[in-house]
Structure 1
Amino acid sequence: MSLQAKLDAFKADFEAGKPPYNVPASVIEVMRRATAELVASGAAEHTLKAGDKAPSFTLSDPEGNPVSSADLLAKGPLVISFYRGVWCPYCNMELQALEAALPAFHELGANLIAISPQTAVNSRKAARQNHLDFPILSDTHNSVAAAFGLRFALPDYLVDLYTSLKNDLPSFNGDDSWTLPMPGRFVIDQDGMILYAEVNPDYTHRPEPEDMLPALRKAAQSHIG
Structure 2
Amino acid sequence: MFTFSAFAEANINVGPKSGISAPKISVLNLRNQPTNIEQLSSEKGLVIVFFRSADWCPYCKRHLLELNEQAQKFTDLGYGLAAISYDNTDILQKFTKEQSISYPLLSDQQAQTMQAYNILNKDYAVGDDNYGIPYPGVVVIDKEGKIVHKYFYEGYKDRVKFSDLYLQLSKGN
- TM-score, normalization: structure 2? 0.81
Q: Does 1:218 align with 2:172?
A: yes
Matching residue's letter, 1:135: P
Match of 2:71 in 1: 102
User: 1:188 and 2:156 equivalent?
Assistant: no
What's the offset of the Cα at 1:181? 0.4
The SS at the match of 1:146 is helix
Q: For the residues of structure 2 that align with 1:153 and 1:128, how far apart are their CA atoms?
A: 31
Q: Is the 8 A contact 1:154 1:179 kept in 2?
A: no
Rounded to whole Å, the distance in 1 between the matches of 2:40 and 2:87 is 21
Partner of 1:15: none
- 1:152-180 CA-to-partner distances (Å, cap 9, x unmatched) read 23358xx6xxxxxxxx54xxxxxxxx231
Instruction: Report the counterpart of residue 51 of structure 1 in structure 2.
Output: 19
CA contact (8 A) 1:187 1:216 kept: no
- Aligned identity (percent) is 27
Q: CA RMSD in A?
A: 2.3
Alpha-carbon distance between aligned partners in 2 of 1:137 and 1:84, rounded to the nearest angstrom: 12
Tell me, yes or no, if structure 1 residue 135 matches structure 2 residue 104: yes
Quick one: which amino acid aligns to residue 198 of structure 1? Y
> Which structure has the larger Rg over C-alpha atoms?
1
Whichever residue aligns with residue 116 of structure 1, its letter is S
What's the CA shift for 1:77?
1.1
| Structure of greater relative contact order (alpha carbons < 8 Å, 6+ residues apart) | 2
Instruction: Give the letter for the 2:140 counterpart.
Output: V
* TM-score using structure 1 length: 0.64
**Other-structure match for 2:37:** 69
Q: Count residues with an aligned counterpart.
A: 160
Q: For 2:156, which of 200, 203, 213 is the aligned residue?
A: 203
Residues 1:154 and 2:123 aligned together: yes
The one-letter code matched in structure 2 to 1:218 is G
Q: Which one has a larger percent helix, Structure 1 or Structure 2?
A: 1
Structure 1 ranges of 4+ moved more than 4 A: none
Provide the secondary structure at the position in 2 that maps to 1:215.
helix
Structure 1's unaligned 5+ residue stretches are 1-38, 160-167, 170-177, 220-225
- In structure 2, distance between residues paired with 1:74 and 1:155: 34
Shift of 1:121: 0.3
When residues 217 and 110 of structure 1 are mapped into structure 2, their CA distance, relative to the original with a 3 A threshold, is farther
Matched residues in 1 for 2:77 and 2:63: separation?
Answer: 20
